[in-house]
């Protein structure tokens, strides 16, 4: 298998910075791809060992290109997640002053995160969308725009300077990234894990989704993300991308997934992997009645009853 | 109040075509706005009587700019919805042949709907995103790009011709639009109605969302849309935009909303309005035990019990 990771390029974006926080990235060749879909396809085609792409953002929510890329096509598995705090720098050619800036550029996803800052500091600047924040920086270098919002780390690469740093409208603006590869045995549980699945309902009826969520709730499993995505079969037809607290090797999670497999038209398992937001010490206590030991004792008891030994 | 409707411009897009299907649009001045947010703000500022914007798409799902614009800011109400089937035409300057096309342009939302067609017919064409499909047509007129994906109706406006029509990757590709105004008494129920609300959970705990959905399910109310949107308070913090079958004047819907008002941190009512997808004749039968008469008889019975007359 090629020792290379595909990632959403170009170089010099938050995605590359997040990827480089993974120890395993140091021993791989890192190859930028032009889109999430092309990075995922590189894994499916065997050109890359894994792909690293953004999946959730505290301002925009689920990244639909990534969710759709995992929902459809050959199955892939999430191996790891990375959280990165996102703050922007205003990058300009050396010598540019704030008063000189008539045009600003960045990826469209950056716009809601810098809108208030722009209104307060550059109310008359014209916004020009770019294919990525790094591309916006390149266009500033070439003189096409006056300023770009990008990571401060992009300044050196494009010969720019940061006129302002730490720009972010929302406190705690974060993006979550995932490392995705071909189906494989999930990493061992750490005690602070997350399990991702996609659920397709069998029929649309009152209480249908409530019943599916009940498979998690009745076993004390908290949900961390529930994102509906169109199935492509017309308006109002959705599947559900779900992130749940826990690991598929937890008895409660295995039981919930078995329940969903029975109730759903289809369930796609996207992986169990360590959470990036908390350590095992910080994980919430398991709800009474849902620990592995209690599941085991309950199964033993039913077996004894079936056996006449109650 | 000004007799004007704000809509997501520019002129010559699917939004304008959908708006013109509303009888009331014929008696209003229709004013294009550059963004969903600016159209909604025009209503909030009293510059427009109502705003007409896309809210859901069978390929892309909920339109986040619109949902976020309704979730935050001064309350607004959905008065009407419109469904429009979306098929694209490939617009070119007269005389252009398919073999001449090196660059194609459209709004980014069009891309997933024409991707397969492009791969089969113009595999080497370079994609250039435009601010809108109409804007892409204008740029073709000016000679900047060779072809634009837009509604066939845009051809005449920009002096172009349709080299191909009926382009759409997904069968039944539709977009749903809503007419939004300041809070007002909902239109009378038709028997095929929809109610939209935004729900904020009080605390995040296992079963929290399941319990909220139970308020609808236990009263036989089907959900048509459940879209999570970030609250802006960091990753993993979501509110839920919900469309449910029925009208707030239905006893079962009123009871469900009262239950949610008790259980949620906050509930925002976005309106009850006629469904565009079915007629009252086609509405599904009310689940036994959830009709207005049964609600009334049950309330009477409890009152008699409280009164000692059981």
* pLDDT digits 0-9 by tens, A249-295: 999 999 999 999 999 999 999 999 999 999 999 998 999 999 999 99
Contacting residues of A for B224, CB less than 8 Å apart: 236
Please tell me if the domain spanning A1-85+173-184 has the same topology as the one spanning A185-310. no
pLDDT confidence of residue A172 = 76
Which residue on chain B is closest to A276 by alpha carbon? B235
Task: Answer whether A213 sits within 8 Å of B213, measured CB to CB.
Answer: yes
Which residue on chain A is closest to B83 by alpha carbon? A235
Token pair in block for residue B225: 């849309």
Could you give the CA distance from residue B32 to residue A309 in angstroms, rounded to a whole number? 76
Could you give the CA distance from residue B124 to residue A117 in angstroms, rounded to a whole number? 40
DSSP state of B299: H
Q: How many helices (H) and strands (E) does chain B have?
A: 9, 15
For residue B73, report the phi and psi dihedrals to the nearest 5 degrees: 85, 180
Residue A10: asked if its preceding bond is cis (omega within 30°), the reply is yes
Closest among A67, A65, A66, A28 to A50, alpha carbons compared: A28
Does the predicted interface ipTM exceed a cut of 0.95? no
What pLDDT digit, counting tens, does each position of A147-198 carry? 999 999 999 999 999 999 999 887 778 999 999 999 999 999 999 999 999 9
pLDDT confidence of residue B2 = 54
Q: What angle, 0 to 180 degrees and rounded to 10, lies between the N-to-C axes of helices A64-71 and A36-44?
A: 30
Contacting residues of A for B277, CB less than 8 Å apart: 235-236
Residues of chain B where predicted confidence (pLDDT) is lower than 50: none
Task: Answer whether A235 sits within 8 Å of B206, measured CB to CB.
Answer: no
pLDDT confidence of residue B170 = 76
What pLDDT digit, counting tens, does each position of A234-246 carry? 888 999 999 999 9
Superfamily of domain B1-85+173-183: Periplasmic binding protein-like II (3.40.190.10)
In b/e form, how buried is each residue of A195-226, taking b as 16+ CB within 10 angstroms? bbbbbbbeeeebbbbbbbbbbbbbbbbbbbbb
Asked if residues A201 and A242 have their Cβ atoms less than 8 Å apart, the reply is: no
Task: Answer whether B230 sits within 8 Å of A60, measured CB to CB.
Answer: yes
Beta strands A174-181 and A50-57, pairing class: antiparallel
CATH number of B88-167: 3.40.190.10
Q: What is the interface size between A and B, counted as CB pairs within 8 Å?
A: 131
Listed by start position, the domains of chain A span 1-85+173-184, 88-167, 185-310
B233 Cα to chain A: minimum distance (Å): 7
- Bridge partners for A224 per DSSP: none
Q: Check if CATH label 3.40.50.2000 holds for domain A1-85+173-184.
A: no
pLDDT confidence of residue B131 = 79
pLDDT confidence of residue A310 = 79
Contacting residues of B for A135, CB less than 8 Å apart: none
Task: Answer whether A277 sits within 8 Å of B235, measured CB to CB.
Answer: yes
Token pair in block for residue B177: 């639009």
Which of 3.40.50.300, 3.60.20.10, 2.60.40.10, 3.30.70.260 would CATH assign to domain B185-310?
Answer: 3.30.70.260
pLDDT confidence of residue B273 = 98
């Amino acid at each position: 298998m090629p020792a290379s990771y595909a990632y959403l390029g170009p170089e010099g974006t938050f995605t590359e910075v997040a990827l480089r926080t993974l120890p395993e990235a140091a021993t791989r060749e890192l190859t930028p791809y032009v889109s999430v879909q092309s990075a995922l396809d590189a894994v499916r085609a065997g050109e890359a060992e894994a792909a690293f792409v953004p999946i959730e953002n505290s301002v925009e929510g689920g990244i639909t290109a990534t969710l759709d890329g995992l929902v459809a096509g050959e199955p892939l598995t999430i191996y790891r997640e990375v959280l990165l705090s996102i703050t922007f720098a205003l990058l300009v050619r050396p010598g540019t002053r704030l008063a000189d800036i008539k045009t600003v550029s960045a990826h469209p996803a950056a716009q809601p995160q810098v809108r208030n800052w722009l209104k307060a500091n550059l109310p008359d600047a014209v916004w020009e969308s770019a294919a990525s924040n790094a591309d916006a920086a390149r266009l500033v270098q070439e003189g096409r725009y006056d300023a770009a919002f990008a990571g401060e780390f992009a300044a050196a690469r494009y010969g720019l300077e940061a006129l302002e740093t730490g720009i972010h409208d929302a406190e705690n603006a974060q993006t979550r990234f995932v490392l995705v590869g071909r189906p494989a045995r999930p990493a061992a549980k750490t005690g602070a894990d997350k399990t991702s699945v996609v659920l397709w309902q069998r029929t649309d009826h009152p209480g249908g989704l409530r019943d599916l969520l009940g498979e998690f709730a009745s076993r004390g499993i908290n949900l961390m993300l529930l994102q509906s995505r169109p199935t492509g079969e017309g308006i109002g037809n959705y599947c559900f991308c779900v992130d749940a607290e826990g690991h598929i090797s937890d008895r409660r999670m295995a039981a919930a997934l078995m329940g969903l497999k029975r109730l759903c038209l289809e369930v796609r398992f996207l992986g169990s992997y360590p959470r990036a937001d908390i350590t095992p010490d910080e994980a919430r206590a398991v709800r009474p009645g849902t620990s592995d030991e209690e599941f085991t004792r309950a199964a033993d008891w039913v077996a004894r009853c079936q056996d006449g030994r109650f």
